Structure 1
Amino acid sequence: MTPHLAAAPPVSVRVRAPGKVNLSLRVGARQDDGYHPLVTIFQAVSLVEEVHAQQVPDGSGISVSVTGTHAERVPTDSSNIVWQAAEALARYAGVAPDVHLDIVKGVPVAGGMAGGSADGAAALLACDALWETGVGRAELMDLAAGLGADVPFGLVGHTAVGTGRGHLLTPAMARGEFHWVFAVRDEGLPTVEVFRVFDDVVGGTPDVELADDTELMQALRAGDAVGLGRALHNDLQRATLEMMPDLARTMSVARDSGALGVIVSGSGPTIAALARSRQHALAIAASWTAADVADAVYCATGPTPGARVVQH
């Protein structure tokens, strides 16, 4: 009888996780704990982060390298979220935190599209597979929430409603495919600063409710891009435009190009425009480039899946 041979543990795991656009972002007044209650509708898009977790000798610890979009702006020490994700998972699973994590960035840095959060989600999934920890999905989601409010959505992807700090997720039905164009700036906007200006300029109401997004949810269920474009909403948009007024010109060029809706993505400064089709998305991108109102332009589609292993 041939003896059973256990499968060798993987020497590397590659995971992709998506960036996002907030179709709606409703922000309540700052609470005593410093957080703002949120009701947001996320959609994952086809701009992705990739994290490659590689086995290293025992006792090597954690190391990080970065390539791709804005790589020079991403730290490679323990302040990087992938480092923190590896430490959190190792601590929870009781394993040694020995891994090299290579990030290939495809989502703009500090652009309101949760590229860093996608990295955190990808690192959790990659290290879980590399170390064969067997941590359940619910536990991974809890660890993700401990890393940042947008990290759980990086695991889930598709379209979802986020409440609390945005980390409590409920899947949302979305029919069909939506075409997006993103105008990116080299200069990012720190989320904490955008919220500070929001507090000063807007303030927010004590309560925020999903009921305000009934039209948007109906458009998603119907696959109605026109209706979705009409219903896009972002309470942080005014604060972002206060901090970077020339973004108004970027939004105006997209509207003049027939965009179905134009919105600041999350805390900005990325501007998201919803197009009728792939060809229309390319036309909006060309208009932005010709008007010189963006440092880079990306076309993408949504919704897309959350973090997934692409090489094991």
Structure 2
Amino acid sequence: MTASLAPAPLALSMGEPGGVGPEIARAAWRVLRDEGPVFFLTADPALFAAGDIAQIENPGDVAATFASALPVMALNSKVAAKPGDASPENAPAVIESIERAVALSLSGEASGVVTNPIQKSSLMAAGFKFPGHTEFLADLTAAAPMPAGRTRGPVMMLAGPQLKTVPVTIHQSVVSAANFLTAELIEKAAHVTAEALHHDFGIEKPRLAVSGLNPHAGEGGALGKEDDAIIAPAVEALKAAGIDARGPLPADTMFHAEARETYDAALCMLHDQALIPAKTLAFHEAVNVTLGLPIVRTSPDHGTALDIAGKGKARADSLIAAIRLAAAMVERRTASRAR
């Protein structure tokens, strides 16, 4: 192991046990076991066949086992999983896995959280009240203080090698998102994003490109009023607050190579405005990051992939990228606090 590893291991949640989470966790460990970053899995050890798995009692045991076995911290909830089947019966274990990883990160026993994909429909069928990880993590960390100088989110970012995008509205229908959009919401997302780019990504003076909502950013009001009435005033307020922001920009011309050179992150009004270009450019490398939390949290940018679970076809690239990015963010955040 190298000396540059995070001082505490990362906590990786189990995700949907009938999906690809368990197999990509093992695959990621096999790639990272020699040089790290070091991590452990909160899961039911029964998910794994005997072999390169080591059950641990606490995160302090990880360092001694990581080079030879994937460390697994057992849950109280048991799992009865069949590859390709997302059963609501496993919801208590899925939720406990996330809660355990977050609690250990808040206590400092883990340095951050990486979450495997969850099957939202099966969780909701079991009574889960959150539309996704992002909102659940915000709730779990709501009572914890934010680092000094940081604005509380949550704000979702898709981070890839060539592009970082932030959807201002997330898990809503297009109609609901358009009605939900306000200047205050845009401004808050921009502040959280700019702070994260500076403290967690090491960008000294972040530049934000802000998309329009409507085609051609509203075409001067001919194709919708929201761009002039909501987004433009938000951009002016951001400039007045010292943030390098420009917009509203037509979303269809924001993501070609030359345009991407002019900003560090694109703030998008709708979920798909942000996720389509990010996943198109780097489907196997993009990472889902939750900004504006008191802890570091990343996740692979794909779903549970029930159709290929257990068939040996799942790629761990995005999970590996998520683990590496989480460790880098922890290191930068620690250095930023020390300054």
TM-score for the superposition, normalised by structure 1: 0.34
Structure whose residues are more often strand by fraction: 1
TM-score for the superposition, normalised by structure 2: 0.32
Structure whose residues are more often helix by fraction: 2
